A and B are shown apart, each in its own frame.
Chain A
């Protein structure tokens, strides 16, 4: 196989990756965004007559119903609201804080670095559940607090990752040559360091989105999260567990929603990472 044909094939694959990623993520986001219009009753209407309808048997409930006769499709779309908010906002917040902390402590080293990293060590040593229970006990539950909790417990991962990359990059000659020219630190951090270390950060981000969607349901299960009556993918997954033997659809469809969202984000993240790297090689 020639190198040119290989690279053309790689390019085609990249384009496919991008299109699929956009279709999946975009479709899910649109459905969730317009969920109030699509399902004015919010999927809360209980119809015990139609409880545990199998999917694809009733046009009113395409994806079937749950033990209380609520429409699974409506609940999956409505549940995306909470899940996507938690998944995306918590990761975004953690990335912003973690990347800034990592850049600063890796580039300047010294006292600030020591403080940040010892704090990070302590944070990593604290069991998450303990932190969660303490946090919610002090400030209370709810969506915002849960997102804050996830940011607080996860920024450390990004900070450590970014700091490690900065430590190896800052001794590279192109950083030194920028310093030699007199480029301001803020420009070195944002224009030279950040683009060169963003690849692994994007990978970690996409993985954490999925992780946090599931964490939300565990926290809700512990009574630490949002109102358990509001549907969310993780919550539906947990609820459907007891019916898995005879009504698989109750938990499989929210699970499928998580899978497709994460797959879409992964494809987009992969595409983004590769298109940010002008050398065109895949860095894994």
Chain B
């Protein structure tokens, strides 16, 4: 497969936690200069594999009933599993380095960036503090951080997420490791920043000739970075091969279902309406096709819009100084206007800090608007009394990103689903309410027996189904889904997308779909609004915005999305720069953009 001898070979590895075997007879080899991607859904054992290579899995109670991990180090071949932890410590960080998903928590908040980079250099290379800092500067420049000399004296909280992840990469590369393990390094980042990080990892790999093990659940990222791919499922390797072969000709049924579930940006070019697609679901070891292709023409554009948002402004004051005066403001939302019609899905897309969640929270009355008008079903927010506001909380429902966090851990899910019914007195009688809860559970694909369980007894996908059942319980007209699909595995995600669309057709629901994932947005929305720094950059039908992106930011956003197609030639120019901050000094108001209608219903912001 490669011209080099493999630098790391995992042979017949099994890992157990207690009696449960999480990895079974895994074999994998990694060659220098190559990127091997390990793909799988949550719980497939991909992270445990990498932690076993680092011998960190033992600290969580893992045992290795069989297997070898042969590493071709500077002192010849060694079996990492046979090494004592003391010797392993010398290899970790020096020969094999790792970067983690959360750059926020991987850096120690009380030390400067310079101290933290210098630490491993002093430890492994025996450098003096002065030399270590000099080397640190070189490393920061290597990951193309601007103002590297300044950064050495900064603290982690003063850096953005993307910058922190670059610092983590610089630290991992400090001792020129032979193997770099990247565990979901871009999952927590925005797409444009993700594109930067992926480019940096690829360039540095070519420069240093190291082997990279790239762990991810995102097939788009795999298609972009990997040379070889290993697909894991339930702790086993189900398939491996060069990336192009695997994508073009998947052999194992699980790989097929995984690839079929991945939303591909651009796959729906030419379609006027969003569409439901059949989803392959693994039923034991064989895939089963669920659902059928169905055009989602549910939006009622001839009637009055259900929700009208006009010139919405939401700002947060930042109080600083001894006297608590307002010195800065977060301009989260600035003059945003849009409509949502009955049966329509409007997607709000944007990166962190674009104000997309704030808009949703303001409509849900979780947040007060600074100014502007919102009208729901012909009733303006401003003229509403307490009773009307309460009715609105029944007619508009909110689904959060993390289904586990949004369910009370101490309440049975039956209680949680019945809560909106009790709160709004929609029904009387314990028996009727119980029947309604059972019916809702069955509608979202669970059974009535699930009502007596607690949230922690469910999987992520099931929990999101529970949250949807809870939202449905109050017979809403509008559902605000705030990144409701982001925390789910792709195959589950595809099922939930279909569930959302089925419910829309059944109940004539309108969705405000807040997301950063362009491919999912393409699949399920009728219209799209692109947000940038609290203002709408572009608004139009799905086809208009995605097929004819006319604002430079929309173009940039779309080009950054990794597409699950390895044959596509990735030759994007390095997207530089950070997402600007919406925090401004008092008195320094942002310029309000004006719009140009380039096609009926397609608004594009003029350059300021």
Residue of A nearest to B391 (CB): A182
Other CB < 8 Å A-B pairs besides A174-B407, A180-B398, A181-B474, 8 of them? Answer: A2-B18, A172-B405, A173-B400, A174-B409, A176-B406, A177-B398, A177-B406, A277-B410
> Which residues A247-284 have CB closer than 8 A to chain B?
276-279
Residue on B nearest A193 in the bound complex, by CB:
B408
Query: 16 A-B pairs, CB-CB below 8 angstroms?
Result: A1-B18, A2-B18, A4-B19, A173-B400, A173-B406, A174-B405, A176-B400, A178-B408, A182-B423, A182-B424, A187-B423, A192-B408, A196-B408, A276-B410, A278-B410, A279-B409
Complex CA–CA separation, A172 to B410 (angstroms) = 14
B397's contact among A4, A174, A181, by CB below 8 Å, is which? A181
Q: Which residues of B contact A3 (CB under 8 A)?
A: 18-20
Interface of chain A, helix or strand or loop or mixed?
helix
A2-B19 contact, Cβ under 8 Å, with A180-B398, A278-B456: yes
Interface centre among A180, A187, A191 (most CB of B within 10 A): A180
B364 adjacent to chain A (CB < 8 Å): yes
Q: Is B304 an interface residue (CB 8 A)?
A: no
A134 within 8 A of B: no
Docked-complex contact A196 and B18, CB < 8 angstroms: no
Contacts A174-B408, A177-B406, A196-B410 hold; do A182 and B390 have CB atoms under 8 A apart?
yes
**B419 is an interface residue with CB less than 8 A from chain A:** yes
Q: Is B165 an interface residue (CB 8 A)?
A: no
Those of A1-24 within 8 Å (CB) of chain B: 1-4, 6
A144 within 8 A of B: no
Digitize B395-431: 1 where CB-to-A-CB distance is under 8 Å, 0 elsewhere.
0011011100111111110000001100110000000
Contact of B423 among A6, A174, A183, A277 (CB under 8 A): A183
* Alpha-carbon gap, A184 to B420, bound state (A): 11
Taking a contact as CB atoms closer than 8 A, the residue among A176, A196, A279 that contacts B366 in the complex is A176
Q: How many residues of B contact A (CB 8 A)?
A: 31
Closest residue of chain B to A172 (Cβ to Cβ) is B405
Residues A195 and B410 in contact, CB atoms below 8 Å apart? yes
CA separation between A191 and B415, bound complex, in Å?
Answer: 11
- Inter-chain CA distance A4–B412, complex, in Å, is 23
User: Does A179 sit at the interface, judged by CB under 8 A?
Assistant: yes
Residues in A lying within 8 Å of B, measured CB to CB: 1-4, 6, 172-174, 176-184, 187, 191-192, 195-196, 276-279
B411–A173 touching, CB < 8 Å = no
Q: Which residue of A lies closest to B402 (CB)?
A: A173
Q: Is the CB of A279 within 8 A of B400?
A: no
Complex CA–CA separation, A172 to B402 (angstroms): 10
B454 interface residue, CB < 8 Å from A? Answer: yes
Give complex CA distance A192, B408 in Å.
7
How far is the CB of A58 from the nearest CB of chain B, in Å?
Answer: 54
Contact of B393 with A by CB under 8 A: yes
Query: Are A183 and B20 in contact (CB-based, < 8 A)?
Result: no
- Shortest CB-to-CB span from B68 to chain A, Å, is 26
| B394 within 8 A of partner (CB) | yes
In angstroms, Cα B80 to Cα A76, docked, is 65
Cβ-defined contact, A279 with B397, below 8 A: no
Closest to A176 in B: B366
Shortest distance between the CB of B174 and any CB in chain A (Å): 36
When distances are taken between beta carbons in the complex, the residues of chain A under 8 Å from B400 are 173, 176-177
| Complex Cα gap A147–B411 (Å) | 35
Q: B409 and A278: CB pair below 8 A?
A: yes
A192 and chain B: residue at smallest CB distance: B408
Residue of B nearest to A280 (CB): B456
Are A279 and B456 within 8 A (Cβ)? yes
Q: Beta-carbon contacts of B287-314 to A below 8 Å, as 1s and 0s?
A: 0000000000000000000000000000
CB closest residue in chain A, given B406: A173
Residues of chain A contacted by B467 (CB below 8 angstroms)? 177
List 5 A-B pairs, minimum CB-CB distance, nearest first.
A182-B393, A2-B19, A173-B406, A173-B405, A180-B398
Residue from the set A176, A187, A195 with the largest chain B CB neighbour count within 10 Å: A176
The chain A residue sitting closest to B393, CB to CB, is A182
Q: Closest CB of chain A to B387's CB: distance in Å?
A: 11
Establish whether residues B405 and A183, one from each chain, have CB atoms under 8 Å apart when the complex forms: no
Determine whether the beta carbon of B364 is less than 8 Å from that of A180: yes
A279, B400: Cα distance in complex, Å: 21
Which single residue of chain A is at the shortest CB-CB distance from B473?
A181
Closest A residue to B407 by CB, please name it.
A174
CB distance from B504 to the nearest CB of A (A): 20
In whole angstroms, what is the CA distance A284 to B402 when docked? 25
Chain B residue with the shortest CB-CB distance to A194: B410
Shortest C-beta distance, B1 to chain A (Å), equals 39
Check A181–B20 contact: CB distance below 8 A.
no
What residues on B are CB-neighbors of A191 within 8 Å?
A: 411
* With A196-B409, A278-B456, A279-B454: A182-B366 Cβ-Cβ less than 8 Å: no
Tell me which residues across on chain B come within 8 A of A2, comparing CB atoms: 18-19
> Which B residue's beta carbon lies closest to that of A181?
B420
Q: How far is the CA of A176 from the CA of B467 in the complex (A)?
A: 13
Cα–Cα, bound, A6→B61 (Å): 14
Chain A residues with CB under 8 Å of B407's CB are 174, 177
CA A183 – CA B424 in complex, angstroms?
Answer: 8
| Residues B408 and A179 in contact, CB atoms below 8 Å apart | no
